[in-house]
Amino acid sequence: MKPSILIERHALAGLLRERTIALIAGLFALLVLASAYLGWSATITVDGIYASAVAWFEQNGQVAPPNPVTQGSPLALLRNLTIYISLVGAFSAIVIGHRMVEADRRAGVLPLIGTRPLDRLDYARGKIAALAEGIAGLIGLAAIVGVLTFLILPSIHVRANEWVRLATFFGLGWFYMMTFGLIAIGSSARAQSETAGLLMPAVLWLTLTFVVPALTGNILPTAAINPVSALAPAPQTAIFDWSAALLGPISLAEAYKYLGAELLGYLPAGLPPRGTVPPLVVLILTGAAAFAFALSSCLKLDMTKGGPDA
């Protein structure tokens, strides 16, 4: 068996034993249900208002306009899931990525691994593969709950192309979470302490999620947790034009929310993305940079340190 596969299996077994990961998986499933419920509740409310409006139009001999619910995509029921993935999902990926390296160091097995005829590249491959599978498990759980929600609700009819868009949305969420997980692996491998290894990616996550959108689009921190408010167009001023041009290429959270809104069908018509770099390009470039950072950090990992006092 290849050494990288052994490292991968060992890392996955460690994740399955941790209660924190089980709590994260349960929380993620509950958030998907909450997202579906909130979307369904909003849809039922609009339907009720529309039924009352139709009765008024009929009494006055007028033709009622189309139901706004039927004009949009049913996938918009899960629009809050975009926010949950960018917040809870990304932070969960940071925790998983951090544990990939730190668990070996704290358990004292890192020096033992270093004494084996094992190339650091194999170690990096195993840890990154385990991270990818762990995050895929979380996204898969969310996808199952989301699909079941659409199948259970009798008033929701999802077409074939919309199922494809939903699958693409969850794939995009996996890629977004992987980016932060890779940053966490790289930070843990390079940091001199456990606290620094977790603090570095957490600060970066907070900066990309709250600070950068405020600088590029005048988005208040509270608006960052609203799937629609987060898409508000930036003021037409020179300072925001410059900030969007300078920070747009690293505005990962904004790029993800824009693409997520487009896939789920709640992106306002005619709304352009912020900055000059297309959102998909932003995600690909930042993901590639995170992968390179994690790989180079694992290749330089000091495998002589281990144990509780490391």
The pLDDT score that the predictor gives to residue 40 is 73
d(CA 61, CA 9): 69
Cα–Cα distance measured from residue 146 to residue 170, given in angstroms and rounded to the nearest whole number: 10
pLDDT in tens, 155-166: 678 889 999 999
Q: Which two tokens stand for residue 216?
A: 């590029």
State the average pLDDT for the chain. Answer: 84
pTM to 2 decimals? Answer: 0.88
pLDDT at 130 > cutoff 60: yes
Q: What is the pLDDT of residues 294-304, one digit of tens each?
A: 999 998 887 77
Percentage, residues of the chain above pLDDT 90: 32
Which residue has better confidence, 179 or 234?
179
Output the pLDDT for position 218.
Answer: 65
- Predicted confidence (pLDDT) at residue 309 exceeds the cutoff of 70: no
Average pLDDT over residues 188-197: 86
User: pLDDT tens for residues 207-262?
Assistant: 998 888 888 876 666 666 777 777 777 777 777 778 877 888 888 998 999 999 99
Mean pLDDT of the 285-292 span: 96
d(CA 197, CA 219): 29
Kindly tell me if the per-residue pLDDT of 71 is higher than 60: yes
Per residue in 261-271, pLDDT (tens digit) is 999 988 887 78
Q: Looking at residues 62-75, what average pLDDT do you find?
A: 75
**DSSP letter string, 205-262:** HHIIIIIHHHHHH---GGGGGSTTGGGPPPPSSHHHHHHHHHHGGG-HHHHHHHHHHH
